[in-house]
């Protein structure tokens, strides 16, 4: 009985080696055809992402709420800090007033102390990280 098992195992091994020797992996080539406008679209998306993160600089948000109050806050800010850029951004459902583009946290913190005298709820925004 042991001899029968050994013979069966030997035959199975022989056939499996014979079959695996003759088989081979598939080889192929992939070609990708893309519309040339895809590159233009990717470049446009990259530019859009750059503008969304303010070129990687810190901002100070001074107001969140209605459009009329946002315009008042921007006017007040521009009257006190003429040399600092300030803009109104709409993020559903509120308008937000954001100011400055600071290279590092130290600059932003220093300016924030001045801004909080007029806008006590102001805070520093950290830019979004871009995946591109």
The model's pLDDT over 6-26, given as tens digits with 9 standing for 90+, comes to 777 777 777 776 666 555 656
Contact between residue 104 and residue 89 where contact means Cβ atoms under 8 Å apart: no
Banded pLDDT at 115 (limits 50, 70, 90):
very high
What does DSSP assign to residue 120?
Answer: T
Structure tokens at 57: 């600089």
Supply the pTM of this predicted model: 0.56
Dist CA 50 CA 8 (whole Å): 69
């Amino acid at each position: 009985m042991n001899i029968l098992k050994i013979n069966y195992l030997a035959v199975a091994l022989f056939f499996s080696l014979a079959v695996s020797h003759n088989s081979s992996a598939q080889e192929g080539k992939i070609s990708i055809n893309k519309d040339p406008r895809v590159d233009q679209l990717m470049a446009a998306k990259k530019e859009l992402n750059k503008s969304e993160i303010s070129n990687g600089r810190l901002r100070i948000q001074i107001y969140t709420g209605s459009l009329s109050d946002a315009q008042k806050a921007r006017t007040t800010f521009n009257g006190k800090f003429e040399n600092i850029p300030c803009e109104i951004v709409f993020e559903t459902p509120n308008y937000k007033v954001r100011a400055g583009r600071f290279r590092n946290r130290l600059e932003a913190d220093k300016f924030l102390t001045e801004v909080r005298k007029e806008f006590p709820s102001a805070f520093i925004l950290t830019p979004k990280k871009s995946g591109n």
